[in-house]
Structure formats: C-alpha cells, structure tokens
Structure 1
Amino acid sequence: MVVGFFKSCSRTVSNALSSNIRVAARNVRELYLTALVLIVGYVALVVSGCSVTSWKSTLGRNHPLTGRIWDVSSARFIDRQSLVTRLARADFLLLGERHDNPDHHLLQAEVLRSLIALGRRPAVGFEMFGLDDASAIANHLAFAPNDAAGLGRAVNWNKRGWPDWAMYQPIAEVALEAKLRIVATNLPLATARKMSSDGLAALEPRVVGDLGLDRPPSESVFASIAADIRDSHCGYGSEESVKLMVGVQRARDAQMAQSLIAADDPDGAILVAGAGHVRNDYGIPVYLTAKAAGKQVISIAFLEVDNQKPEPDNYALPDPNGRLPFDFVWFTARVDDENPCEKFKSQFEHLKRRSDK
C-alpha cells in the first residue's frame, strides 16, 4: 500500500513537472527561477508524501478548504508551487497569522525556507519585536548567532503576553540557519501604550510626519479600522477609546512598514504579523506602497476554516468591498471553537476586578 502510494505520488509530481517545464520562459532568468521553483516543489511534495499537511490544530482538518491556497485577484485555487513562484518575485512579503495557531507559524517557516531555497535572502521582521528590542536582539545574536531558542529569552518574550516563543522559534531557526538578519519593526510597547491614552501627542512631531500620520485617514478607511476594532473587542470600549485605538493601529502599521524599508536589504524583507496588519485596504501594504514606489508587496493571510463557511467568498463577508483584503489566503485547521467574545469578556472582567481593588 505504501509503495503503491508513493509510486502514484511520483507519477503525479512527474506529470506536473513535465507539464510545467513545457511552458516557455520569457528569458534565461525566468527559466532559471522556474526550474528552481519546480525543484523545490518536487522536493516538498516528496518529503510530505503528497499527503495533507500534518496539522497541529485539531479542528477543521477535514474541511473542504483546509490546506488550500486561494488567489484573491484571480478568484481561484493555486498549488504551493505556483504560490512560491509568485512570492519569489516580491520585494516585501507579509505573512499574516492568528497568533496562537501553531500551524500558521510552521507554514510561515515553510514559506521562508522555500524562498531561501530559491536563493532569496530577505531580512526577517516580527511584529512582536519593538524598536527598543533591537539592541537585545543584536547583542544576543552577536554572541550566539544560531541560537533561535534563546532569542525569546533575550527580549523577555514570556512577559509580553504573546503565545509561547516555541511557536515562533521555527521561523527564527530557518532565518538564522540561512544567516538572514532578524529585525525589530514595531513601535516600542511603552509608546503604543502611551498612544492609547494620548493619541498622536505621544509621538514626536517629526515621527508623526515621517510615518505619514499627519494626514488623517479617509472616512471610509477610519470606519473600516474602527469597525474591526469594535469587533475584535466585542463591543467593549467607548467611541473615544476606539478612536485612540485606530490611531495606535495606524501608527503600528506605518512603523512596521518604515522598518522594513529601513532594513535596506537588497533582497527585500519578510514580516510575520497578525493578519489584521497585513490587510491591503488599510494595513502595512498601504504604507509600503506609498513609501516604496515600484516595489512589489504581497500579503498572505493564514486563516482558520469555519464549519459554516465552505467557500472562500464566505470569509470576505465583513469586508465592504466583498472580497478578502489580501493577495492570497492559505486556509488551515483551527485551534479551538471557543467564542472569542466570551474569552475577551472573561479577561476584561478579570482586569476590571483587579483595577477596582
């Protein structure tokens, strides 16, 4: 049975390779890149046995979308090989996630590994690393350049409220093995907290101008960000607090975009961030496009499947334009079925009780 399966898998891969090789490349560089992509795709399929990804998350594994990749602009599914071909040409690649889904981080590491195999050497940024972490990262890697596990300890990760660093470690391991730069990208946490009460006044006027925050968003953009914030906070918070949070969101996105550009890597940069930050309609891509004209920006969202949503378009319903606000969506199994608002309510009430004491 196993031998037969791999023979069948080999024939499938061989046929796919033969078909793709027959497509004429426009020039030598294109042919070289195409050949590399095919080789990487072949190896990936053989290693995985042409089987479905071994999901860490337990729910939704048999959902019709799980493991499939949706090309938003062409409204069709594509395979991993086709995705990597597209990503290999990006100057800035944004990998959106649900923070506590381990499969999202494993897939992010897989994407990075595939690009490295094609000869790409981008800088690698993390939403979770603020600019004030840059020296700690540099000091740690100067003494232990291959120590991905220790990187979390170097920035006091366990005190930040993020999921266990072990989830993100595979991405850092791939980067360090290839000797890629790991860069801090986000606003310092203290600055973001101050903005949540003081707004733009928490930033120096020069920084406000550099980040492009001196120009207010359009009414439609503000409304979209505000609606998403209300939704993610389950209706908690006054209109004034939502307005301040919109400012924080914009500042973080603008800073992360600027940090990727400032990395000034000749081979571009990759960012690991929450899916909300990599939206094409109001997230980091907007700021990258404005400040890095001519550079190609691609965003991928790793989205958990929903039993009530069997089609890709079902996931775009909250979007006013009726389409997913990313370039590609990679559907995955999901971590849990817990109602996020019930969880948020519990956390909110716990914090309120502590503040009342």
Structure 2
Amino acid sequence: MIRYFFPLFFAPTALAAGGVFDDADVVFLGELHDNPGHHVRQAEYVAELGPTALVFEMLTQAQADLVTPELIADETALETALGWDESGWPDFAMYYPIFAAAPDAAYFGAAVPRDAARQAMSDGVGTAFRGDATVFGLLDPLPETQQAAREALQLAAHCDAMPQEMLPVMVDIQRLRDAELAYSAVQAFEAYGGPVVVITGNGHARKDWGAPVYLMAAAPALTLAALGQGEGDAPPSGVFDVITWSNPVYRGDPCEAFR
C-alpha cells in the first residue's frame, strides 16, 4: 500500500524531511538535470539516508556494473569508465557527489539504450522492456486526459516541431523509461532491501504518472516517497511528498534553432 503524505516545502538549504523519506523502502529524488543545486541536495539526501542501492536514470545496467568503491574514490577514473563525456548528460562534476555519498551501495542502471528505444518504436514498448510489461502495468492504456496532457508536453518539449503521429510513440518511450526505473528499483530492493534511492528527472519521479506508478503495480507492498525540485518560485509539475527549490539556471531559448 502506498503511504500518502501531505507535501512538505523547504527552502534551498533545508534538508530534513521528517519521517517521509526515513520510512520509505524506495525514495525517488527528482531533479532538473542541469541544475547544480538539485544535485547538491540529492547528494545530501543520499548521505543522510545511507541507501543499500542507488538506481540511476543516467546509466545502463552495463555501466552501473562497473561502479565499485575503488572507482568512486577517483572522480576522473569513474567519469572515464562510465563514458560520461559521450553520454549527453550534463557535467559529471554535478553528479559525482551523489556517487561519493554512497561508495558502498550497490548500483543499478535504468537507462533505455538506443537499440531498445528503436525496438519499442517499431514493435511496441512491451518488447523492449526488461521486465514483465503486464505485471508493471506498462501495457495499460492511460486515461484520456493524461494521454492528451503527456502528448502536449512532448510537443512543447520538441518545440512544436514533432509530427502529431509521433506524439503517442514519444509518450510510450517515456512510459518505458518510467517502467525501467521501477524495474531496477524492484530488483535492487529484492537483492539488498531498503532503502533504495532512485536518481532521476522530476518527470519520472512524480507519483501521479511517473515511475512510482509502475513500481506500485509490480510491488504494491513497498512504501515509497518522492522529491520534486523546482527553480525560483516555480514548483515541479506532478505529485510529490517533498518539494524543494533552487536558484534557476539560465538556458536561453532551446527552440531558437527551430525558428
């Protein structure tokens, strides 16, 4: 059964979340990928929680299998071993403190490789998922309002340049990413117990339609909690147990190239 909590709100420097995170088997720590403040807070929570395992949206399982305490002790060596420079994710220096906060934890990766994404696009998400798509609810149709909202978000994220017929496919890929995060979290908990911490974007951490939905479908006995991180005075979209804010990052106009 999911434990529901009233959201807690903290200033950028606050950390303690009462028993919300302490009582959870799985804790989702959301982020905006390029916001340094969000990663600082994630590292602080990881150090406080002492997780048995960490699940990273940014890593494949093959990459996660490379992580050892000895490698974590050397930031440059870890970055090189993970091939971070070629990954497309923001500066590794922002993520390294998260690893350093839990050198003895087990590491799991939930990234969807490109070949799996292509398979999902051509043959359906169930064929590309590592787990049982039925058990995780990946094949369940979304409510119409949610489907429409998610397609609108995909269109906006692609600067209104995505063909309409591709929008349902893009939503399916995001659902596959959600389910993969849930799958890795379940695997981590079954192998090591809790707490398991999941490092991922706000969109995947939200409890109303992100990875927690798929985790609860497959493992309803687990308890979970989720952090969403906003910028300035703008909260993240979605449902979270705890919401915090950091200073905003200037990103310019990401759609300028389409004009």
Task: Report the TM-score when normalising by structure 1.
Answer: 0.63
- Hey, what's the Cα distance between the residues in 1 that align with 2:34 and 2:141? 32
The partner residue of 1:285 within 200, 205, 212 is 212
Select the residue among 85, 90, 93 that pairs with 2:24: 90
Q: Which amino acid aligns with 1:126?
A: F
Task: State the Cα distance separating 1:127 from its structure 2 match.
Answer: 0.4
| Structure having the larger proportion of residues in helix | 1
Match of 1:24 in 2: none
Q: Is the 8 A contact 1:276 1:283 kept in 2?
A: yes
Secondary structure class of the residue paired with 2:198 = strand
Give yes or no for the alignment of 1:180 onto 2:105. Answer: yes
Q: 1:269 to 1:246 in 2, by over 3 A?
A: same
Consecutive unaligned residues in structure 1, runs of 5 or more: 1-71, 310-314, 350-357
Map residues 229-268 of structure 1 onto 2, 5 A cutoff: 229-263=154-188, 264=190, 265-268=192-195
- One-letter code of the match for 2:222? K
Asked whether 1:271 is paired with 2:198, we answer yes
* Amino acid in the other structure paired with 1:83: A
Instruction: Give, as a single letter, the amino acid of the residue that structure 2 aligns with 1:100.
Output: D
Assess if the C-alpha contact under 8 Å between 1:91 and 1:269 holds in 2: yes
1:326 aligns with 2:236: no
Q: SS at 2:226's partner residue? A: strand
SS at match of 1:144: helix
- Candidates 223, 226, 234, aligned match of 1:299: 226
Q: 2:143 aligns with which of 218, 232, 236?
A: 218
Q: How many residues align?
A: 252
Structure number with greater CO (CA < 8 Å, separation at least 6) is: 2
1:341 maps to: 255
Matched residues in 1 for 2:186 and 2:215: separation? 8
Q: 1:161 maps to which residue?
A: 88
* Residue 292 to residue 200, structure 1, CA distance change in 2 (3 Å): closer
Decide whether the 8 Å contact of 1:253 with 1:287 is kept in 2.
Answer: yes
Query: How far off its partner does 1:96 sit?
Result: 0.8
Residues 134/115 of structure 1: CA separation in 2 closer, same or farther (3 Å cut): closer
Distance 1:214 1:128 in 2: 24
Q: State the 1:114 CA deviation.
A: 1.7
| Structure 2: gaps spanning 5 or more residues | none
Deviations 1:185-208 (A, max 9, x none): 232232124434554375279754
**What amino acid does structure 2 have at the position aligned with 1:279?**
R
CA gap 1:200/1:81 in 2 versus in 1, 3 angstroms: closer
SS of the equivalent of 1:98 reads coil
TM-score (norm 2): 0.85
1:122 match: 52
**Residues 148 and 172 of structure 1 are in contact (CA less than 8 Å); yes or no, is this contact kept in structure 2?**
no
Offset at 1:124?
A: 0.8
Other structure's SS at 2:255 match = helix
| Structure 1: distance between partners of 2:115 and 2:216 | 28
1:84: how far off? 4.5
CA distance in 2, matches of 1:205, 1:301: 26
